[in-house]
Amino acid sequence: MVPLTGGFAGYKAAKAQGINPWTGKYEGNSIVIGRNMQNRVDPAAKDLGAETITGDWGAEFGKSRISDKQGLDFNYKWFDEKLNSNYKIFDIGSGNINNYNHNYMMELNTLQFRSYPSTNTYFRSFFGGKVRFNYFR
């Protein structure tokens, strides 16, 4: 048997993970989590072809001020629904922000509590540099 090398091996590996080898986008339901929604998470999701909570949050609350509890409850229900629907989770991390917020910590703790498997680590170019992120399931 001839070993797979070069471009064909990359193509085959991408297809095996559900990633379109030509666009780099995941071919399925996926979301992106992390810190700094507007400047990091939303642009990364656009690049990956994934969803974020931003649209659902805006539809639910608009520009209204809400309590931390209301926000955390909404985030938990949204995230739980995505996990129950077997979405792939792309975690782009905190972006060198030392203080993790309660929504992102809830998401990380939920992944750990459910033993949602981390299947790979990727390095992708975003924002003029390389960003390390994990994806789950």
Measured CA to CA, the distance from residue 132 to residue 12 in angstroms comes to 22
First to last CA, the chain: 31
pLDDT class of 88 with cuts at 50, 70, 90 = confident
Query: Is the CB of residue 54 less than 8 Å from the CB of residue 33?
Result: no
Helices 68-84 and 54-61: angle between axes, nearest 10 degrees: 130
| pTM beyond cutoff 0.85 | no
Query: How high is the pLDDT of residue 76?
Result: 95
Q: What is the 8-class DSSP label of residue 37?
A: I
What are 121's strand-pairing partners? 134
Question: Would you kindly state where each structural domain of the chain is located, as residue ranges?
Answer: 32-136
Residue scoring higher pLDDT (115 or 53)? 53
